[in-house]
Amino acid sequence: MAISELDLPIGVIAHSSADSQRQAELMADSIADALAYAVQTHGVASLVVSGGRSPIIFFEQLSTRDLNWSRVQISLADERWVPATDPASNEGLVRHHLLQNAASEAQLIGLYQPGGSLAQAAVLADQTLEQLQRPIDVLVLGMGNDGHTASLFPGNPALAHALRSDCPERCLPMQAPVEPQARLTMTYPLLACARMQCLAIQGADKLETLRTALAADPLQMPIRAFLHSPLEIYWCP
Ligand SMILES: O=C(O)[C@H](O)[C@@H](O)[C@H](O)[C@H](O)COP(=O)(O)O
């Protein structure tokens, strides 16, 4: 199956690339242009990225693009509640693969807080996000095969609240079904306010998950909440 066979909602754009390297280059070019435009028009740009394994080559590509990175804030759609030195840390992943080369000048606004509990850490992360330029200029989401995105996981008691269009918090604690289970996630209103919204997925399995999600309820497959304009989906085999 190809992404062109999916019945996508009006305004959702699909980009299909031959392989993950080409997908990374295409995303890096487009997102670098959007960040440069944001800096030019309002003096600062905000980029929110997701963790996982898929984004690594995209981070590596984007890090080389020439723009005024000193005016770019980078934050995370979600975080595992582990220190940045932990191999599972999304902040550690971004620091290693994105904050290098030209992009080393960017400001990273991490979510991890050592707090006494996950709930306390989420409150501190919520306060930290006050400094993030909004609306976010560029958002890059990933997706799991259960339809989760960021750390908005199906079946979580806090999911409905986090998906509310008027959710008052920017960041909430969340439990993932896989280790590390303790997570911090940006909530729907903050994520969905982004001027440019991208979903990067790879493989036939993720395409099938996406097809299923199009007919699902966001409480069953949270990615569904983001499948509308102005989303751009980047897919490669
Ligand atoms: O912390 C995380 O793991 C991510 O934010 C998560 O939402 C990720 O985007 C998906 O799980 C897809 O991960 P892969 O790209 O590794 O398949």
Question: Residues 40-73: pLDDT tens digits?
Answer: 999 999 999 999 999 999 999 999 999 999 999 9
The beta-strand segments (E) located in 61-195 are: 72-76, 78-80, 107-109, 138-141, 171-175, 182-186
- The mean pLDDT value for 19-39 works out to 98
Percent of the chain having pLDDT more than 90? 97
The verdict on residue 31 lying in a domain is yes
Residue 5 lies in a domain: no
Is residue 90 a part of any domain in this protein? yes
CA of 43 to the centre of ligand 1 (A): 30
Q: Give the global pTM.
A: 0.98
Read off the pLDDT of each residue in 172-180 and give the average, rounded to a whole number. Answer: 97
Ligand 1 centroid to residue 165 C-alpha, Å = 22
Q: How confident is the model at residue 1 (pLDDT cuts 50, 70, 90)?
A: confident
Residue 53, domain CATH: 3.40.50.1360
The total number of residues written for the chain in this structure = 237
Report how far ligand 1's centroid is from the alpha carbon of 42 (Å).
30
Locate 114 and state its tokens. Answer: 């050592």
**Model pLDDT for residues 64-110, shown as the tens digit of each residue:** 999 999 999 999 999 999 999 999 999 999 999 999 999 999 999 99
Which ligand 1 atom sits nearest the alpha carbon of residue 77? 5
Q: Confidence band (pLDDT; 50, 70, 90) for 152?
A: very high
Provide mean pLDDT across the span 193-219.
98
- Residue 86, Cβ neighbours under 10 Å: how many? 14
Has residue 222 got a pLDDT over 90? yes
Is the CB of residue 209 below 6 angstroms from any atom belonging to ligand 1? no
Omega before residue 230 within 30° of 0, cis: yes
Q: pLDDT-based confidence at 158, cuts 50/70/90? A: very high
Residue 4 forms part of a structural domain: no
Higher pLDDT, 115 or 233: 233
Question: How many Cβ atoms sit within 10 Å of the Cβ of residue 85?
Answer: 9
Domain ranges, residue 214: 13-236
Alpha helices in the chain (DSSP H): 20-42, 56-62, 90-97, 118-128, 159-162, 188-192, 204-214
Question: What is the average pLDDT value for the chain, to the nearest integer?
Answer: 97
Report d(CA 81, CA 88) in Å as an integer. 9
What's the 149 CA to ligand 1 centre distance in angstroms?
Answer: 7
* 119 inside domain: yes
Question: Does ligand 1 lie within 6 Å of residue 52's CB atom?
Answer: yes
Query: What average pLDDT does the segment 144-163 reach?
Result: 97
Residue 6 domain flag? no
Find out whether 201 and 207 touch, Cβ atoms under 8 Å: yes
How many whole angstroms separate alpha carbon 226 and alpha carbon 191?
A: 9
Examine residue 74 and state whether it is found in any structural domain, yes or no: yes
As for how many domains the chain has, the answer is 1
Nearest Cα to Cα of residue 88 among 178, 187, 172: 178
Q: In the predicted model, is pLDDT for residue 212 greater than 90?
A: yes
Q: Does position 2 have pLDDT exceeding 90, yes or no?
A: no
State how far the Cα of 106 lies from the Cα of 103, in Å rounded to an integer: 6
3 located within any domain: no
Q: Is the pLDDT score of 115 beyond 90?
A: no
